[in-house]
């Protein structure tokens, strides 16, 4: 196999919503500057797993996490971890694009601003760089003052990606980022993911088999809270080792 670093390692990760167990003993390594797709039927825990990587599950009352998630060899669930710092390092793109009801510029500048950046030149530079990285710059450069909500669905999602990039994360978590978009907008997002993996480690949840096959280097198949199979995407889609995986990707259940 090629030379690569493991960016995220989860060990024996268990997660409970109240008494219901949503993740069961997930141990998995995610490689730096690769795209890792999480697939599986609804309710299998893939989104929950994704949200445990930047501790967004903390926001839901009555959740309990056991085991460890190490990012750059630091367990993010140990005491004394600054969740705010963690989330700056681990950006997130949501299923439903969620720009703030503010201008395009202010949306992207939000992250730097809350980090205390006040210098106008630096802000402008960051906004431009982020919008270019998310391939939105050419479409919006002339009306950065326009509301983010006035953009089309695909543009909104790319705005959210620009907003996440503006805080210089190292990891991007994407929770079905294209599920609400038309094929053309989806293609643009996928193209973007391909470009972004050069500089970022990307974990993407998707319902769309073809999408997983197209954009990811590695694929993890989840089923009812368990990690069934994890391998190179190529292998998962051509020679799955488990029957459940094969059944799912060939559309026999799900």
Verify binding: residue 244, other proteins, rule CB under 8 A.
no
Of positions 35, 92, 135, 220, contacts other proteins by CB under 8 A:
92
100 close to 55: Cβ distance less than 8 angstroms:
no
Least Cβ distance, residue 84 to other proteins (angstroms)? 5
Binding of residue 109 to other proteins (CB under 8 A): no
In the complex with other proteins, the residue whose CB is nearer, 68 or 168, is: 168
Choice from 40, 111, 177, 240 touching other proteins (CB under 8 A): 111
Task: Confirm or reject binding of residue 45 to other proteins (CB under 8 A).
Answer: no
Using CB under 8 A, which of the segments 22-30, 82-90, 121-129, 182-190 binds other proteins? 82-90
Minimum distance of other proteins from residue 234's CB (angstroms): 31
Catalogue the long-range contacts made by 246-250 (C-beta closer than 8 Å, 24 or more residues apart).
Answer: 248/39, 248/40, 248/41, 248/221, 248/223, 249/39, 249/209, 249/221
42, 79, 101, 138: which one contacts other proteins (CB under 8 A)? 101
Q: Establish if 152 lies at the interface with other proteins (CB under 8 A).
A: no
Residue 19 is a binding residue for other proteins (CB under 8 A): no
Least Å from the CB of residue 57 to other proteins: 11
Residue 100 in contact with other proteins, rule: CB under 8 A: yes
Give dist(CA 127, CA 112) in Å, integer: 9
Instruction: Note whether 110 binds other proteins by CB under 8 A.
Output: yes
Q: Which residue, 110 or 137, has its beta carbon nearer to other proteins? A: 110
Residue 94 is a binding residue for other proteins (CB under 8 A): yes
Q: Would you count residue 160 as binding other proteins (CB under 8 A)?
A: yes
Q: How far is the CB of 88 from other proteins (least distance, A)?
A: 3
Contact between 167 and other proteins per CB under 8 A: yes
Check residue 184 for interaction with other proteins (CB under 8 A): no
CB atoms within 10 A of CB 15: 22
Burial of 35 (0-12, 13-18, 19+ CB in 10 A): buried
With CB under 8 A as the contact rule, which of the stretches 24-32, 88-96, 127-135, 176-184 interacts with other proteins? 88-96
Contacts with other proteins, residue ranges (CB under 8 A): 54, 56, 59, 61, 84-88, 91-92, 94, 96, 98-101, 110-111, 114-115, 160, 163-164, 167
């Amino acid at each position: 196999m090629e030379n690569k670093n493991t960016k995220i390692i989860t060990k024996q990760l268990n997660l409970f919503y109240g008494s219901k167990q949503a993740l069961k003993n997930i141990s998995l390594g995610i490689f730096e500057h690769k795209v890792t797709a999480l697939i599986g039927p609804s309710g299998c825990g893939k989104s929950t797993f994704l949200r445990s990587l930047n501790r967004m599950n903390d926001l839901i009352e009555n959740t309990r996490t056991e085991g460890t998630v190490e990012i750059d060899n630091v367990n993010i669930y140990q005491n004394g971890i600054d969740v705010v710092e963690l989330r700056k390092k681990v950006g997130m793109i949501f299923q439903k694009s969620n720009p703030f009801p503010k201008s395009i510029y202010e949306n992207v500048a939000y992250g730097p601003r809350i980090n205390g950046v006040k210098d106008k030149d630096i802000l402008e530079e960051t906004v431009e760089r982020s919008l270019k990285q998310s391939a939105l710059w050419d479409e919006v450069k002339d009306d950065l003052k326009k509301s983010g909500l006035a953009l089309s669905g695909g543009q909104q999602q790319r705005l959210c990606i620009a907003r996440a990039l503006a805080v210089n994360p190292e990891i991007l978590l994407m929770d079905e980022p294209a599920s609400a978009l038309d094929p053309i907008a989806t293609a643009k997002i996928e193209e973007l993911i391909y470009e972004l993996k050069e500089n970022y480690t990307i974990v993407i949840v998707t319902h769309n088999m073809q999408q997983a096959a197209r954009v990811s280097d590695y694929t993890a198949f989840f089923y009812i809270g368990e990690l069934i199979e994890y391998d190179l995407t190529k292998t998962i889609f051509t020679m799955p080792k488990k029957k459940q995986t094969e059944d799912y990707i060939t559309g026999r259940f799900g």
